[in-house]
């Protein structure tokens, strides 16, 4: 097996002996366990595990590993996935006219802080092309109107599919994606928005927040679902503000938080730290990797 690090994500009904059965399986296959993280939801009687393995020295192929693990998994009702360290994900970024998240993601990727291939940037505006050009990432300008929405989404999906995109990041893409689009890529679209929803919707939420005298500004990153801005939450953060903050400073603080929250959410996804259960995201912390 070429991949030295292998990550398994497992969810199943909680039951006795799970840790022993799973770890024994990997021991017998010749793997060294680098980390084993687990969580039990007693309310739902569910069990979750993230286990990272060192495959160095093993002779088992990926096909044989997955076939053997399926034999273990079926009677225990595992819902599982496996990810190999040599499998770098392809990423697309969708953006409208706000640059901070786009620039931050491209910058982090160039510095090696996000383990992925950012294959393209898609936008319904042409004003951020220069940022993609700075990082030599192809930029696709696909304008959209109410009348052309279906046609434009078909073009976007064609780009995603032809580039074998594994994850799409909505880095302040100010369009509502159709159910058809979202359902085609379950748990493969991450969205970011400010924390004022649903209180301050629409244009200029920071002005509305200033007028209300908010004391906290934050951001939320989540998987996109049919329910607008209500998908499984991956990351959130907040920062206190005071009455001295203006709409301009609130907006700046909000942009800074968005960048950090979105980058963490993307990294969690790329590192295979997330198991979605219903409308909740179980996010395991990094385990020294």
Q: Which of 84, 110, 134 is the last residue of a domain?
A: 84
Q: 210 with 68, same domain?
A: no
CATH number of the domain at 58, please. Answer: 3.30.70.260
Q: Supply the pTM of this predicted model.
A: 0.94
Summarize pLDDT for 46-77 with one digit per residue, the tens: 999 999 999 998 989 999 999 999 999 999 99
Summarize pLDDT for 231-269 with one digit per residue, the tens: 999 999 999 998 888 989 988 999 999 999 999 999 999
Summarize pLDDT for 86-112 with one digit per residue, the tens: 889 999 999 999 999 999 999 999 999
Structural domains in the chain (count): 2
pLDDT of residue 196: 64
Q: For the residues 102-130, what does the mean pLDDT come to?
A: 97
Whether 288 is covered by a domain: the verdict is no
CATH number of the domain at 217, please. Answer: 3.40.50.170
Please give the torsion angle defined by the CA atoms of residues 148, 106, 90 and 97, in that order, rounded to the nearest 10 degrees: -10
Nearest to 278 by CA among 26, 8, 79: 79
Tell me which residue has tokens 């360290």: 85
In this structure, how many other beta carbons lie within 10 angstroms of the beta carbon of residue 188? 16
Tell me which residue has tokens 């990926």: 62
Q: Which of 29, 58, 84 is the last residue of a domain?
A: 84
Nearest to 277 by CA among 7, 62, 10, 3: 10
Range of the domain at 57: 5-84
Percent of the chain with pLDDT over 70: 96
pLDDT of residue 203: 66
pLDDT of residue 195: 72
Whether 289 is covered by a domain: the verdict is no
Q: Which of 45, 68, 84 is the last residue of a domain?
A: 84
The dihedrals phi and psi of 272, each to the nearest 5 degrees, come to 60, 50
Known catalytic residues are 229
Q: 152 with 168, same domain?
A: yes
Q: 66 with 200, same domain?
A: no
Q: For the residues 206-230, what does the mean pLDDT come to?
A: 88
């Amino acid at each position: 097996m070429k991949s030295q690090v292998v990550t398994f994500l497992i969810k199943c009904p909680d039951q006795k002996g799970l840790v022993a059965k799973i770890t024994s399986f990997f021991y017998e296959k010749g793997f060294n366990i680098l980390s084993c993280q687990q969580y039990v939801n007693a309310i739902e009687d569910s069990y979750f595990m993230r286990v990272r393995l060192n495959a160095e020295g093993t002779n088992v192929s990926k096909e044989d590993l997955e076939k053997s693990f399926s034999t273990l998994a079926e009677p225990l009702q595992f819902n599982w996935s496996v990810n190999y360290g040599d499998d770098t994900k392809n990423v697309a970024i969708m953006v409208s006219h706000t640059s901070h998240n786009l620039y931050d993601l491209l910058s982090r990727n160039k510095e090696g802080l996000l383990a992925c291939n950012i294959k393209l940037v898609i936008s319904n505006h042409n004003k951020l092309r220069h940022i993609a050009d700075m990082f030599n990432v192809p930029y696709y300008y696909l304008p959209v109107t109410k009348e052309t929405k279906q046609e434009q989404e078909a073009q976007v999906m064609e780009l995603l599919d032809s580039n074998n995109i594994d994850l799409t990041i909505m880095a302040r893409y100010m369009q509502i994606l159709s159910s058809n689009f979202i359902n085609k890529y379950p748990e493969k679209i991450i969205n970011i928005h400010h924390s004022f929803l649903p209180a301050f919707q629409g244009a200029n939420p920071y002005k509305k927040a200033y007028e209300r005298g908010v004391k906290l500004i934050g951001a939320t990153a989540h998987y996109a679902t049919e329910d607008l801005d209500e998908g499984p939450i991956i990351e959130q953060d907040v920062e206190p503000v005071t009455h001295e903050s203006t709409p301009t400073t609130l907006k700046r603080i909000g942009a800074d938080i968005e960048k950090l929250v979105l980058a963490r959410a993307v990294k969690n996804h790329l590192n295979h730290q997330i198991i979605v259960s219903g409308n909740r995201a179980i996010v395991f912390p990094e385990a020294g990797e």
